Structure 1
Amino acid sequence: MKKIILSLVTVLLIATSVFADEIKFTASAPNVVELGEQFRLTYSVNSKGKNIQVPELDGFRVLMGPSTSSSMSTQIINGKVTSSSAYSYTYVLLAEKEGKFDIKPASISVDGETKISNSLTIEVVEVNKTQQSSESEQSQNSASTDKITENNLFVKVHLDRSSVYMGEHIVATIKVYTRLSIAGFGDSKFPSFDGFLSQEVPTPGQISLERENINGTIYNTGIIRKLILFPQHTGEITIDPFELEVIIRQRKANKRNGFFDEFFDNYQDIRVPRKSKPIRIRVKDFPSNKPASFDGAVGNFELITTIDKDSVKANDAVTMRVKVAGNGNLKLIKPLEFNFPADFEVYDPKTSQNLNSTEAGMSGSTTFEYLIIPRHGGEYEIPSVNFSFFDPKAKIFRTRSTEKFTIKVAKGEGDNSGTIISSFSKEKVKFLGKDIRFIKTNDFTPQLKGEVFFGTTNFYLAYIVPFFLFILAFVFNRKRIKENADTAKLKNKRANRVAMKRLKAASASLKAQQKDRFYDEILKAIWGYTSDKLNLPLANLNKENISEILLSKGVELELKDEFLSILDTCEFARYSPSAGSSEMDELYQKSMNTITKLEKNIK
């Protein structure tokens, strides 16, 4: 009986669930097709509709359609019922004319309301006769590795522009182009992007292939990685080639060509290495009329300055925030320098960033938070300062100014300004700040008891021993100050300790199965250790000069190769399908052992 009641309740919940999802009506089709090729034009809607109206399809012949299909799913999670449905209308078209054709939106009636789909643009290209004949030969003969050429499989690093100003963003897209069947990817080597600050643009973890017309030939293309690059110096910068091992699936050569071969998987996977061409970028310097307040900001920004209060007591904290928002190299913007009153105690600003990297560049905001503590009463003014940036589109410098603030400070408990000391006597002090009180003294006559201490050995030792201890402490302190002043030596000394702390953070990410964070911590540990140990800024580090420096420091060739392999593994693993925990644990142990060996080998 209980099962029947539960079933009835479930059916009732499903029947009474409210479909709150917005009705969506979309059209989809290939971006590029060949002349004479058949393809599908599909209209999808997430609710049942009727009276679909398709526009005129100029340049195409309708061979079949519409064929309809539908699907529906229901989920009950923690008592919450969610349902979804999908209806599709598919037309099979034949491309009859060459050129680009715009397909206008279609319409459909859903619950008495008319919904309009998106429009499409389809490019029809003429088939390359040479390529068509070679493809027909491949279909008649068994495939072999000789038929895999640079024309039907290659990789490329595409830049959205080849000439920019210093600090202006460039979108770099690493893509694979193929007319063959790809089964997967093997080893890869990404460019180091020396001379650039790079920022990853989020892309789907699974690489999906889309059709693209390249000089009249249709390729299936997939995005491997997409980045935003900010050049850090002027002149010509070269981006190194991208290397990728592509796994191609081909039918095995079979001389018998038996009847039953078609019913079995008679394929083989071939590993094909591919390498892109190096790319050169010209980075221009800024115009000569730089404002004095310009500090390298490039883009288009707005400046917002706020203060949490303008009336406080002495020794109370005031927070001032400066927010730089817009699109550009927000990650490189430095805190503004204000001319605060001398009676203000100001701490180093705290920086927080809310950034979003897309193909349009880096957008969002960088906020600087200044903590200010007035120490004395009075009325003070924080003057306005200028913030200048270069607008690469208009090719001019623009200046924004912060607001001017006036702060009224009342005397607080810790403010001693204007204090008058009166009625001063040995018996009492009426007022002398908070930390000074009168010390009462009485007549005191010491009385000797037992053995006289004055003039004994212990008496003199009581003076000599502290004196020598003071000398030792002074020498040790001077040595410590001298060592701390030598920043390079201090970093070198602490390099191994800092690297091990970062590896502990990587171990925590490994236990939590946080793949991206794990590989980031491994890279930080490796690069940070190298920077500190070799006394090189992170911006000047790359695989080539590290290789040379390690060899010059007496590091064995095998250990150097092991170090570089860790960098390659981390770089590729961040953008490849998820690795297992065993591979991540092996990489962690390998990183610890490599850093330990380097600590012993570097001279």
Structure 2
Amino acid sequence: MKRCMQTGLIVLLLFGARAVPGQEVSVTAEVSRTRMTIDETLILTVSVSGSELGDVPKPVLPDMQPFIVIGSTSSSSSSFNLVNGKLSSSRSVRFIYQLKPRRTGTFVIDAAEVTLDGVAHETTPITIEVTPGASGSSQPGASRAAPTGGSPSSAAGQSSTAGQSSATGSSQDAAATPDLENTVYIRTNLDKRRAYLGEQVTVTYTLYTRLGLSNARYDVVPTYTGFWMEELFSAHHLDFKEEIIGGRRYAVATLRTIALFPTVTGELTLEPLSMICDVQAERSRRSLFDSFLSDPFDTFFSNTRQIRVVSGEQTVRVLPLPGEGRPDGFRNAVGDFSLKAMVDQATTEVNRPVTLTIELTGEGNLKTVEDPELPPLGDVKEYQSGNRAEYASGRLRISGTKTWDHVLIPTVPGDHTIASLAFPFFDPDTDAYRVTTTEPITISVLPASGTQAAVVGMPRRSVVRQIREDIHYIKPETVYLGDQGEVLFRSTWYLLLHGLPVAAILATVLYRSHAHRLRRDAGFARRRRARNTAIGLLRRSREQLEQSALDQAFTGISNALYGYVADRCNLPTAGLTSPRVVELLRERGVDEDTAALVRDCLDACDLARFAPTAHTAEHAGDLHDKARRGIESIESQLSRDR
């Protein structure tokens, strides 16, 4: 029976729509079942697909008198093919309706109609048989309790909390959305829930899914209020691995890992991280990873919907540093450090410079460590010549080396000793204060040589000589006072010079008004800097492309386009999708060619992030140029209409 249904669906998909000559457009209709009971619900899916598909209007449904439409939603997906170096793309839009039969019998769902570019496309009618239901049967899709026992949210993992998933779309489709709480979720792992002020807390976000993901992007990223944040890892594309949790098979991918250093004490909350994912509820498969294989019939035998996945909220208890045993000179350094000091030469002459180098190495937030204090140096002048730092994140711990250079100039001969330097810090592993010190350093200073003494000695006295006379006549001879020409106040230069202050005042008023508007009107400020910001991101992606960093280059192009449209429209970047960008551009009068160019660039970037092997540097360069042309075209059109 199942094989017959699949064969019938293939026939419907191949012959169910009448395509317009010259256009690759397909309109089909399919149902979740052709025989059902009156207690069950029916899923009707109208699919519109094509290679040059723009905005698709909602289908005009036939008379649905034998059924009640109890929910509806829609989803879209894009696919790309690279053949002989030529990239082709197609887009598919699905309109999903949940139907409840009113009575038993055999009914025909007549053809649904979709009008594209003035041409009507119709689907093939479908026959449905509704039989009486068994007493006490429950309606599919009704709310149900979360499973117990094998629930992923109860799986092992220190300080882990499963997130929640919610489908996005029409508010009427709640009953049509499957229970995804234990199917797609984000887990937040903390290496500790109790930490001292300034101690590192490592947070890892991991995505778990039992369904295929055709697209995924961040929706809301936490701000980490009360923490100093350093990113240790961020996934440019999802690298899935297989895990068995509670007897269920999951695809698992690490999203990002960060290091947090608390800056305040008390109970601090980590806001949830959320993502927008396009998931495919496919037929049963032999292996979970079959969901990610390229099957030409996958898009037809799967229901793709967009969901929002949210991680769980976490709390960290931050303790103040103990007051007992705090050493003198402690400057809130927390971690495990060692201090070392050295000079470039142990013997020098008076007024000859010596470089003192101080190195601090260890684990901890070195970026907030203050400069160490030098002991009294006596007859030695000291000048700080700079500092440098090298940071690493091995074993998911922030570590590195920070170096300070000091130039020392002795002014008198003899042996000069630089006393031991001390650097106190708090070690959270031992819950105690520690002090790392350096060995004393002795510098032997010899008397200055003859040449050097002449250079630094007192200047020679010289004889004062007369340069010129100190009294001069103002008028050495009589000046003829004749006609001097045009009256000064009538000259053009005189009037222009008097007009300059007025022009300067007007320019100042206009500039202050413009600057005030930039400060007060955030939307105006974003529109003003939208182009320069986007061009800067594109320039950076070009540099990454020249360094063969294709993933970063595609991400930069996508961020430039999304950021440019968000700034021009004064909207947050989070939540923007390719169809939404096209809709915003059309609302503002941007022509169809430019909107289609931007949409193609965004779809290609999304594909490159999750299928990087299908793209080359040449394709990335071409995509970069298209994105640049699209931004310039939008800028010229919006500036002209303003």
What TM-score results when the alignment is normalised by the length of structure 1? 0.49
